[in-house]
């Protein structure tokens, strides 16, 4: 059985490679055994920043209003690949 693949397409003209790389690192650390790959795809100009899981668009910068918070990103990936996975403190509301 093939493990899910995440694709992060980023705008080269906007210099978003570091942001895309950091998000890839966060996903690979959190989903070490669940993901088959995280691929970074240089995009054309125009501010593209999209994240897909096996072809399903889970984040689009223009549609979703900017860049995802790491909690939102991990939750959306989890919901696509392994909904039963507990993300620990990311799944818990913090109240004082």
Closest CA to 70 of 51, 96, 94: 51
Instruction: Give the pLDDT of residue 96.
Output: 45
Instruction: Give the pLDDT of residue 92.
Output: 64
User: Cβ(49)–Cβ(67) under 8 Å?
Assistant: yes
Which tops the pLDDT comparison, 87 or 3? 3
Radius of gyration for the alpha carbons in the chain, expressed in angstroms and rounded: 14
pLDDT in tens, 42-82: 998 789 999 999 999 999 999 999 999 999 999 999 999 99
pLDDT in tens, 9-37: 999 999 999 999 999 999 999 999 999 99
Instruction: Give the pLDDT of residue 91.
Output: 65
Q: Taking 50 as the threshold, does the pLDDT of residue 85 lie above it?
A: yes
């Amino acid at each position: 059985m093939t493990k899910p693949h995440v694709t992060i397409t980023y705008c080269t003209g906007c210099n978003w490679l570091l942001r895309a790389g950091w998000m890839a690192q966060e996903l690979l650390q959190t989903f070490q055994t669940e993901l088959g790959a995280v691929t970074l795809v240089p995009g054309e100009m125009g501010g593209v920043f999209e994240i897909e899981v096996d072809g399903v668009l889970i984040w689009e910068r223009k549609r979703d209003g900017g860049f995802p918070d790491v909690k939102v990103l991990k939750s959306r990936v989890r919901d696509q690949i392994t909904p039963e996975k507990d993300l620990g403190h990311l799944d818990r509301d913090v109240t004082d």
